[in-house]
Structure 1
């Protein structure tokens, strides 16, 4: 119960702090989810993306 009381006192007692906590949590979750999804996509498509095969098609004389 001490932990619940501490969380309530820090984050939930004032509406402004609660709203700020929710906003920051959403932003951090979105960034982590986006980076995780990008990493999974690149892992599943290894060798098929342009950055993996562009050396085969680019001209060295540029």
Structure 2
């Protein structure tokens, strides 16, 4: 058990610059994933009530 924890420590935590980079990278990745899934949830819960869903009722194109 100590073998893989030691390798994780030596790879990510031993040098402060690498540790901070990993933290910032993980935070950025979490932000992107959270934003995508919260937007999907919002669109799912408000389907049919958003402008993108009802725009065709109110806006006419110049071609018609």
**Please, what TM-score do these two structures have when normalized by structure 2?**
0.88
Instruction: Point out 4+ residue stretches in structure 1 off by more than 4 angstroms.
Output: none
> Number of paired residues?
62
CA distance in 1, matches of 2:59, 2:20: 50
Structure-2 residue corresponding to 1:31: 32
Alignment of 1:1-62 (within 5 A): 1=1, 2-61=3-62
SS at match of 1:35: helix
What's the CA shift for 1:30?
0.6
Question: Aligned Cα RMSD in Å?
Answer: 1.1
CA distance in 1, matches of 2:4, 2:44: 39
**Please, what TM-score do these two structures have when normalized by structure 1?**
0.91
Structure 2's unaligned 5+ residue stretches are none
CA distance in 2, matches of 1:48, 1:25: 34
SS at match of 1:8: helix
Structure 1's unaligned 5+ residue stretches are none
